[in-house]
Amino acid sequence: MEDVKPGISSRSDEGGAIEARFSDLCKNDLGLDESAMRQAMVFFRESKHILMANMSAIGSGSPEEVERFWGAFVVYCVTRLTRGRATKENEENGVPLCQILRAFKLNVVDFFKEIPQLALKAGYILSGLYGSDWEKRLELKELQANFVHLSLLSRYYKRAYQEFFKCNSGSVQHSAVSSSTGYVSDYHRFGWLLFLALRLHAFGRFKDLVTCTNGLVSILAVLILHVPIQLRNFKIRDSPLLAKKSDKGINLLASLCNIYQTSEDEVKSTMEKVNNIIVNILKKEPCPASECKSENLDFIVPDGLMYFEDLLEETYLNSSLYILEKDYENAIHMRGELDERMFIDENDSVLGSGSLSGGAINMCSRKPNSIAIGSPAKTPLQFPTSPVNGNHVGNSITAISTPVSAAMTTAKWLRDVISPLPSKPSSELQCFLSACDKDLTADVTRRATIILAAIFPSSTFERSMPGSLQSANLMDSIWAEQRKMEAMKLYFRVLEAMCRAESQVLNCKNLTSLLTNERFHRCMLACSAELVLATHKTVTMMFPAVLERTGITAFDLSKVIESFVRHEETLPRELKRHLNSLEERLLESMTWEKGSSMYNSLIVARPALSAEINRLGLLAEPMPSLDFMVAHYNISGGGLPPLPTRKREVLADQNGDPQTPKRHCSESNSVLVERNTFTSPVKERLLSASGLKMKLPPLQSAFASPTRPNPAAGGETCAETGINIFFSKIVKLAAIRIRSLSERLQLSQQILERIYSLIQRILSQRTALFFNRHIDQLILCCFYGVAKISQLSLTFKEIIYHYRKQPQCKSQVFRSVFVSWPSTSRNGKVGQDHIDIITFYNEIFIPTVKPLLVELASTGVTQEDNRSTTEDKNDNDGQLPGSPRFPPFPNLPDMSPKKVSASHNVYVSPLRSSKMDSLRSPSSKSYYACVGESTHAFQSPSKDLTAINNRLNSVRKINGRLNFDLVRDSVVAGSLDPSSDTSSPVSAAPLKVLVKCEQPES
């Protein structure tokens, strides 16, 4: 029975009480000044109706919790968006986010989970109050990424500290962590505060994960040099941790860089910045370590190291902590951001629990397969046990791969493989560029310089930084120049590999059509820059920032991702996973957003959709010219290569019109015309005269004019070829998600195929349903629609419940679905809006898809009877009259790790190739059970797996979960007998799928 909605008067009274509570909290608990208080009340009053209308759609749905979420959101937006407009006095009286959350009794994790939904609901109000750029100024994504990174770094620092120092020393003044984790000592706290000071005063705006890890390694070196020797957890002379030794002693920085896979040069540079922080903030006098006599420096090579007398002596430690605390407090009150000191207090309630991944990083989970990102180059470092001090070193630092260690390993690939390459086209690439109708070397170099300068600005910044502004800006410039060079080298390397492959297909070195395509090069540059940014895990330049700064769209980038991965064989697994996740994001929603170039191709491939595309204004804007980008991003001409002598010819766009900073790079006068050619005009005439059809490589057809015929595809236009390829990827992604959700819901294969058939038909026959929407929204509706026609007792609530467990799930998917109400809508609404998925299903989905559902229901009766006959007699796409068949569910590649049971939490994953050497070794024969205990002594692996499967399929419930953490790679490697008969099949019992009882709808 539905809840009775309160009357208008009662809801008005309730709203008045909410407003009074909000006002009282802002004034008394947060102490907002008069200006901030006034703006907060204006925003709250204008958005109060949204709060009242979305009580059940925010958080757990309880009115009290929703009120707290909305109040915190309002205060955060006001304090953040007025920061640039307020006076200096008001900026200094800002309110940090953690103070806001404590006042409203919320934690950071829950707040970040709900804030996208809140921002979406109140977006138009924020635009009216603070301008259309409010979302960019609010920096929600950057703040959330910063929180995730600091969560990872704090745990990384804690493991490292506990490895080197005893944790049962020092007074506890700030926090008391449980006995299972130990408490935070003053020395531990000093290191973290010094790290925060380093971030504030030296790192500028590019606080990426790799740079911050270099900072933590430098802090660790300072602690080793200055923490009293009796608190060390190792012996300097025989510690296996500090492995870089010579006759003079331990090379401290080299040893730490060896452990944490950091660059020694970068750590030395960061070490100098740490020393400057100590001098300028703590007012300590530095002394070269070679001139100091301290037992802390015994057996440590002093070259290049600085020592500070009494830095961490107990009598001076409290004053140093106070100075660092005061310096940090001044900074966060001016900026109104997170209080990053909370990360060394695991009991701080404002931290919260759960995950903030967005499908990428799980913060708070302790399971290796939740937070670990596999090392792309080698297995995690394993340190030997010290026979002297008995420490099992290495267990807490890098026993398992973590996001931080994986990032450092990937950065090592960039440093060792890409950085040594030349920053200009190689001799082989120059041969390809000069073999075109004209030498394109200068064009390619100039374009790369301009685009990468737009992505990595080295002289101008969007906002000033507090503290030592000059030092921070210098750091920013150096950082940007380094990343720009890495991206350029990677771009030239992959471009060369692509040209080599294309020339082999064409049996010709003249690749004019591909190498003169502006959009292709920008996509390649965007992909290279994105991989560099992903390697360093930047906060300020998160995807899709590269799309805006290169002038391309998500659909453009999706065309090169597969080729990029294929032509860079050394690409680490971490980066391949990143590109795979990006491609999923592009396919699931970004390519369907307004302004996607996909619509420019779709309007050609499916002319019937042109009216709807134009009505919604979905077409992409023309790509901005290079000259426009030079002016827009204030790129200095001094760093650009000289223009070729044929200036007008080279800089002309593909219509032959010269480009200027004031006009866009229109690749066509309209969507339908473009003069881009696959071959030179002379060769094209010769081919057409001889009647030959040239087979076109996929890249050339992908970036050709949408209206151009594609001879390699039976004469269809390139737009049709591109859309068909794009739709096939959409269908495959949908199939993967349908299968995963079906397993959770324990649906039969027949129901799964019906859902898959329906989503295919919607994509081909009701394509407009995908416009400006997420494909999961259509998938969820398909599940419920098929359940209805199949008379399954499956509710939308149950579907959403299981969808929440999917790794890609975001609450906005089912809470906010885009609609553009037609003038004839039955509810009387007009214009664009966002509604919940239930309303979308009833108002939009069913009226549009009902004929397809009726057809699906009618064919389902005869489907099973005619399946075998149809498959025998119908080898093509045609259908026999009266017995239409569903499209077969595709054979999807096995995912790793693969869930082998819908009702049990059991996964299997293939053994990594790096373990094969140990498996081939005769000495590795052993008889251990990999999972659990062997069913019988010395039983074969085949029979063991059969027994395990039989137990999984039994009705007996297993109360505990299998703990895979206890099984190490070394145990697994030693547990498999290489002499056993691997050719015998594993006779695993088939898994039983429970099907919901089909009951008629009441």
Is 535 in contact with 509 (CB distance < 8 Å)?
no
Nearest-angstrom CA–CA distance, 772 and 768: 9
Greatest Cα-to-Cα distance within the chain, rounded to the nearest angstrom: 95
CA angle 635/641/646 to nearest 5° reads 110
What is the CATH T-level fold of the domain 14-85+92-138, as seen in this structure?
A: Cyclin A; domain 1 (1.10.472)
Q: Is 57 exposed, middle or buried (0-12, 13-18, 19+ CB in 10 A)?
A: middle
Structure tokens at 762: 């919607």
Q: Can you say whether the dihedral through the CA atoms of 864, 869, 872, 878 is positive or negative?
A: negative
- The pLDDT assigned to 538 comes to 86
Q: Which residue matches tokens 């409010």?
A: 134
Output the CATH code of domain 403-462+469-633.
1.10.472.10
User: In the 8-state DSSP scheme, what is residue 694?
Assistant: P
Q: Which residues contact 685 (CB under 8 A, 6 or more apart)?
A: none
- The pLDDT assigned to 848 comes to 94
> Which of the residues in the chain have pLDDT under 50?
1-12, 86-92, 170-182, 358-399, 460-468, 645-664, 666-697, 861-885, 912-935, 938, 956-1002
β-pairing, 907-908 vs 898-899, is antiparallel
Asked whether the domain spanning 403-462+469-633 has the same topology as the one spanning 14-85+92-138, the reply is: yes
Rounded to a whole number of angstroms, the CA Rg of the chain reads: 31
Q: Where are the domains of the chain?
A: 14-85+92-138, 145-167+184-344, 403-462+469-633, 728-859
Structure tokens at 497: 């590999």
b or e along 321-350 (b: 16 or more beta carbons within 10 Å of the residue's beta carbon)?
beebeebbeebbbbbbbbbbbbbbbbebeb
977: how many CB neighbours lie within 10 A of its CB? Answer: 16
Consecutive H or E run containing 953: helix 941-953
Nearest-angstrom CA–CA distance, 388 and 556: 60
- The pLDDT assigned to 355 comes to 61
Which among 231, 164, 221 has a CA at the least distance from the CA of 195?
221
**Amino acid in position 470:** Q
Nearest-angstrom CA–CA distance, 729 and 614: 25
Structure tokens at 229: 């020797």
- The pLDDT assigned to 649 comes to 37
Question: Is the entire prediction scored with pTM above 0.85?
Answer: no
Q: Does domain 145-167+184-344 have CATH number 2.40.30.20?
A: no
CA angle 266/383/917 to nearest 5° reads 105
- The pLDDT assigned to 863 comes to 45
Nearest-angstrom CA–CA distance, 715 and 416: 46
> For residue 114, which phi and psi values (nearest 5 degrees)?
-95, -20
- The pLDDT assigned to 55 comes to 67
Beta-bridge mates of residue 288: 306
Output the CATH code of domain 728-859.
1.10.472.10
- The pLDDT assigned to 996 comes to 33
- Per-residue pLDDT tens for 412-432? 999 999 999 999 999 999 999
Nearest-angstrom CA–CA distance, 679 and 711: 12
Q: Which residues contact 187 (CB under 8 A, 6 or more apart)?
A: 165, 169, 170, 223, 227, 231, 312, 317
Nearest-angstrom CA–CA distance, 6 and 857: 40
Structure tokens at 389: 């001090």
CA angle 340/345/347 to nearest 5° reads 125
Nearest-angstrom CA–CA distance, 322 and 193: 10
